[in-house]
Structure 1
Amino acid sequence: MADNSKSEGKLADDQYVSEKDHVYVLDVDNAKLAELGYKSEFKREFSLLETCAFSFSIMGIVASVSSTLSFGLLSGGHVGLVWGWFIPSFFRSLRTSAGLYYFSAKMAPKKWAPLACWVTGWANITGQVTLVCSIDFTCAQMITTAIAVNSNGETVLSLGATYGILIAILFSHGVVCSAATRILARLNIFYVVVNVGTTLAAIIALLVLSGDNKVSTKDAFTLFENNTGWMNNGWAFMLAFTAPMWTLTGSAFISGADRSFQLQVGVGATASLGWLLLISTSFVITSVSDLLSSPLELPLPMGQIFLNVLGKRGMLAIWSFIIVVQYVTGAAQGVDASRVVFAFARDNALPGSRWWKKMNSNSVPVNAVWFVMGWAAIFGLLGFSVTALTSLAGASVIGLYTSYAAPIFLRITSGRDKFEPGPFNLGRWSIPIGIIAVSWVSFVTTMLVFPPGQAPTPQTMNYAVLIVMAVFIFATVYWLTSAHKWFHGPVRNVDGVVEKDATQM
């Protein structure tokens, strides 16, 4: 076997050797990829521990809660914070890089498989790129918050300056995400320590240092205040769901079915720690109206909470770590998004695919990385709207959850007889849970196109629908005028018989 491998040559990352019409794969993950028609093109240098750490990093608990606190505050006050996070946490998804549109194609009727693949892929890329933008935009807002607090409110940066910081962050993330996979894998252990450590520190600091300056347990869990501008309290409360839906969209892509459980643990831990942080935050908010009308004009109210409880020095100390966490979250999401762009380009589904699917010598899709950062910078222009985060968060959730729901919908309809259960499956519960999942996504995506209030202005409009519809119109026109002639779904780049373990040949 060794002689044959030398004569035939090695592919990509030294994980495949070929002989005639056979492809021998050196591990189970690569065997599964080969069965699906793909050769392994990334270096698999994330251990199980590092994969879980990546999952934590990409969701950035304390930073995500700090970024989205305003959703809960506006949509129910204490109830919005606590229960607006708890309820949606049960509706979360995991996915593989490119697996979504692959299985949409597989589960759809043969005639409609290419279109199902096309719609799912474009929805996923829209969500991935806007998620990078929304994470980095809130990171820029965190920096402006720190500057405002440090200057006692004398220096409040303009929206233009905030956009400039966003561009700088995106550029640095482009550099980081272009690094070799082994470097990113090793850094994840450091990331998770900072992430979880800062979250626990924030919970303890808020509860201990606030002393007796807390609301009652009853108020912390049940006091409802509608500050949205919507007359219906039930609808106002449901708008708080945006926060956890945005945070938990960032679960890491799965490399092998055996890792699904580990990532479920990562997502579950994120949801649980986030809830504990929000409970502790709810206890120390003595007046929601005062917080929303902060004299410092801070873009993120969580900064004012830390300032009230910890003082200036304490706030800046913990806020600096939160900025690091958010920065790392953006970098992790940039890695994820670039892999999805690469995968879709590998199937020639993007304009200029031959550029976006190129790999460098370290098996990193550098061009795809800069594709993500470039489009994130364009979407970041929404930062000049006061509802920028609402628009960006809404677009990312709509795009990602639509792509999550598409293969599930096809699985419970046309794909019932095509589905082949893997080692991690729901068994007889797959159909009822699939129905719940599709119903939930349908509700959430509809909800997220609504503006924050009943009488929106150009400045307070929710522009999520503009982003989503712009991509939808482009993808539709592209499909009707050209793509339907040549796009037939996932493109196999491995042929022949697949053997799972070359060592047994």
Structure 2
Amino acid sequence: MVKSPHNISVATSRTGLEPVRSVVHVDELGISSVLSNRNVTIQVDHVLDSDEERILALGYKPEFKREFSLFSVFCVSFSVLGLLPSIASTFDYQQLVVGISPLPWLVAMIFVTSVAYSLAEVCSAFPTASGTPYAVSQLAPKKYAPVLTWITCFSNWMCQITASPSVNYAGAAMMLACYSFMTPSYTPTNGHYYALTTGIQVSHFIISSLPTKFLARFNTVGTICNILFLIIVWIMILGGNKRPEINEGASKWNSNSKAWGLTNLTDFPVGISFLMSFLGVIWAMSGYDSPFHLSEECSNAAVAAPKAIVLTSTLGGAIGFLFMLAIAYTLYDLDAIVNDDLGLGQPYVSFLVQVVEKKVALAATALTIVSSYFMGQSCMLAASRVTFAYSRDGLFPFSSIWSKVNKKTQTPVNAVFINFILGQLLLLLMFGGDASIGAIFSVGGIAGFVSFTIPTFLKITVAKDKFKPGPWNLGKFSTPIGWVSCAFVLLMIPILCFPTARGKNLTPDMMNWTCLVYFGVLFISLIWFAVDAHKWYKGPRANIDDLIVYEDSDMGSEPINGVPQDTKETLPEKV
């Protein structure tokens, strides 16, 4: 018996006739997992690398090929970020709330990045597709771990399943706005929006079901296009600025006071309006958590996945701010966009028409639509991995179906399918009006923040002495950054539920239905937990019972997943 560099005992045979065994001693790895402190040993019949060792120690069988590198997993998350289409889709939540100033982006960017950095540290410690719920299950007090994990699961899941429909709906809206611009007699209906969005969703369902190697390449191309198109459109806006010719008597650029000034378009004080506009930044910068959920398909996951989170949030925030500057200094008539004078139904296209020539505006919108397509696919990809991981833990009805990995593609095709169906049901909200469909944008912001921040709060409070940082960590800055991110999220949760009108101006079509959609679903899930799920849901559960042996028979009597373990050492089948 010899020790491997990765703390794995490897049994060898002098005759060469006996099989090789790799043995992982969970408690010697310095990590927290569902198998920790039970004197658990895991045996497999082949040599393990550090990624396989860690995922086994976390309690899961390696079921995916690790064909994502740091760059390719960053490409997925940056594609999910989709800065160009995200900025285009969130005019309603930033520019049409507090005006054209880039100041809200600059301020919100700092706090959103703090949330991302804290999440990256958690990811390094628990690099599994289950993401934050797994971390919560290990950091929360034992008595409250199941219910806190349950809340984290449903919050993160709502964030994920609303992402692709909202992105693709926004992309369809830009397509139809272009057609309306070219054909003034045409007015799109909700049926048109739904049909076009469905077509995009179907194509993403097909792509997201393909093998990991193809997905890595596809998302790499998507990210290159997203970055390239963002730069091109930025140059189009600044270099192709024709404001004086398009708007008679206009100056070429806005003055500093106008560009940085706040225009309160809500019924609330300007301070509240300023905070409400953060929804645009939060939604535009969302997606940095994707590497966490792809960590089981990423090589050197404990380092690469958190680095990808940090790169995505940092670069995304900085590049987005530069784009906000371009908008602030070129947008001409905000009132015309608010009132939709052109009847396009898409503020971003209305903005472009005010600044650049018609053909340039159409070209810029076309590039934004292509970026939106890549973004929507990346969102569906990340969401499918979340559904798979939570089904593996038995969270949903028929979990055994959604947790199956297709033998041919080695991807969770069933999870992709159920997410597609749920996305189509969410898109029916568009028939309830703009306020209803708008809820899937703001729900994603709140749901994501809640799921990202619960493990951060736990690791700086009740679990500060037992949290075991991974190889990528914030060091002495972990606690202060954690407190900043928690305070920001606590402030923003109620703000994101505010409508833009109040008093007699608050009509049903002006309501913010986020409270009902997010907290309603969460409340129903908690009733389910209280009535039934508390009997069987205890959080993430290991699926490697057949690989576990014990060095101590007394410790071996403790059940894993409620099943007593056999202490007899056997050689398992190859993982």
Question: Fold-level match, TM-score > 0.5?
Answer: yes
Aligned 1:340-355 pairs, distance under 5 A: 340-355=386-401
The residue that corresponds to 1:502 in the other structure is none
SS of residue paired to 1:22: strand
The residue that corresponds to 1:381 in the other structure is 428
The residue that corresponds to 1:14 in the other structure is none
The residue that corresponds to 2:260 in the other structure is 222
Are the aligned partners of 1:148 and 1:296 in contact in 2 as well (CA < 8 Å)?
Answer: no
Whether 2:181 is the aligned partner of 1:131: answer: no
SS of residue paired to 1:339: helix
Deviation of residue 66 (structure 1)?
0.6
Whether 2:535 is the aligned partner of 1:485: answer: yes
In structure 2, distance between residues paired with 1:435 and 1:273: 26
Aligned 1:196-211 pairs, distance under 5 A: 196-211=227-242
In structure 2, distance between residues paired with 1:300 and 1:6: 62
In structure 2, distance between residues paired with 1:285 and 1:238: 22
Deviation of residue 429 (structure 1)?
2.3
Whether 2:516 is the aligned partner of 1:471: answer: no
Query: Which whole-Å deviations, capped at 9, do the CAs of 1:255-276 have from their partners, x for residues lacking one?
Result: 2121122431222111111111
Whether 2:307 is the aligned partner of 1:269: answer: no
SS of residue paired to 1:78: coil
Aligned 1:324-363 pairs, distance under 5 A: 324-361=370-407, 362-363=409-410
Aligned 1:316-327 pairs, distance under 5 A: 316-327=362-373
In structure 1, distance between residues paired with 2:69 and 2:17: 30
| 1:86 aligned residue (97, 106, 114) | 106
Whether 2:85 is the aligned partner of 1:48: answer: no
Deviation of residue 160 (structure 1)?
2.5
The residue that corresponds to 1:173 in the other structure is 204
Query: Which whole-Å deviations, capped at 9, do the CAs of 1:172-218 have from their partners, x for residues lacking one?
Result: 21111111111111112211221111111111111111156433341
Code of the residue aligned with 2:282 in structure 1: it is M
What TM-score do the two structures reach when normalised by structure 1?
0.91
C-alpha change, 1:355 and 1:3, in structure 2 (3 Å) is farther
Are the aligned partners of 1:89 and 1:271 in contact in 2 as well (CA < 8 Å)?
Answer: yes
Are the aligned partners of 2:159 and 2:448 in contact in 1 as well (CA < 8 Å)?
Answer: yes
Whether 2:329 is the aligned partner of 1:297: answer: no
Deviation of residue 481 (structure 1)?
1.7
| 2:499 aligned residue (451, 458, 474) | 451
Deviation of residue 88 (structure 1)?
1.3
Aligned 1:5-84 pairs, distance under 5 A: 21-23=42-44, 26-79=48-101, 82-84=102-104
Query: Which whole-Å deviations, capped at 9, do the CAs of 1:288-308 have from their partners, x for residues lacking one?
Result: 112222322222211112223
In structure 2, distance between residues paired with 1:244 and 1:40: 36
Deviation of residue 479 (structure 1)?
0.7
Are the aligned partners of 1:214 and 1:286 in contact in 2 as well (CA < 8 Å)?
Answer: no
SS of residue paired to 1:276: helix
Deviation of residue 22 (structure 1)?
0.9
C-alpha change, 1:308 and 1:418, in structure 2 (3 Å) is same
The residue that corresponds to 2:564 in the other structure is none
Deviation of residue 458 (structure 1)?
2.1
SS of residue paired to 2:263: strand
In structure 2, distance between residues paired with 1:493 and 1:4: 26
SS of residue paired to 2:357: helix
Are the aligned partners of 1:75 and 1:238 in contact in 2 as well (CA < 8 Å)?
Answer: no
In structure 2, distance between residues paired with 1:383 and 1:4: 63
Deviation of residue 144 (structure 1)?
1.4
Query: Which whole-Å deviations, capped at 9, do the CAs of 1:453-490 have from their partners, x for residues lacking one?
Result: 21332222212112112321221121112111111111
| 2:456 aligned residue (408, 431, 434) | 408
The unaligned stretches of length 5 or more in structure 2 are 1-11, 23-40, 245-250, 296-300, 551-575
Deviation of residue 242 (structure 1)?
0.4
In structure 2, distance between residues paired with 1:37 and 1:143: 46
Query: Which protein has the bigger helix share?
Result: 1
Query: Which whole-Å deviations, capped at 9, do the CAs of 1:89-110 have from their partners, x for residues lacking one?
Result: 1223245631200110101111
Deviation of residue 223 (structure 1)?
2.0
In structure 1, distance between residues paired with 2:263 and 2:428: 32
SS of residue paired to 1:375: helix
User: Which protein shows a greater Rg?
Assistant: 2
SS of residue paired to 1:44: coil
The residue that corresponds to 1:393 in the other structure is 441
SS of residue paired to 2:501: coil
Farther off after superposition, 91-100 or 393-402: 91-100
Deviation of residue 496 (structure 1)?
3.2
Whether 2:255 is the aligned partner of 1:235: answer: no
The unaligned stretches of length 5 or more in structure 1 are 9-19, 499-505
In structure 1, distance between residues paired with 2:491 and 2:549: 44
SS of residue paired to 2:94: helix
| 2:134 aligned residue (90, 102, 105) | 102
Query: Which whole-Å deviations, capped at 9, do the CAs of 1:47-93 have from their partners, x for residues lacking one?
Result: 222112112111111111111122222222122xx112111112232
Are the aligned partners of 2:332 and 2:354 in contact in 1 as well (CA < 8 Å)?
Answer: no
Identity, in percent, stands at 29
Task: Provide the alpha-carbon RMSD of the alignment.
Answer: 2.1
In structure 2, distance between residues paired with 1:478 and 1:85: 39
C-alpha change, 1:102 and 1:196, in structure 2 (3 Å) is same
Query: Which whole-Å deviations, capped at 9, do the CAs of 1:379-405 have from their partners, x for residues lacking one?
Result: 112223222453111101111110011
C-alpha change, 1:214 and 1:392, in structure 2 (3 Å) is farther
Farther off after superposition, 177-186 or 208-217: 208-217
Deviation of residue 428 (structure 1)?
2.3
In structure 1, distance between residues paired with 2:536 and 2:330: 59
In structure 2, distance between residues paired with 1:138 and 1:367: 26
What TM-score do the two structures reach when normalised by structure 2?
0.80
In structure 2, distance between residues paired with 1:69 and 1:270: 17
| 1:194 aligned residue (220, 225, 230) | 225
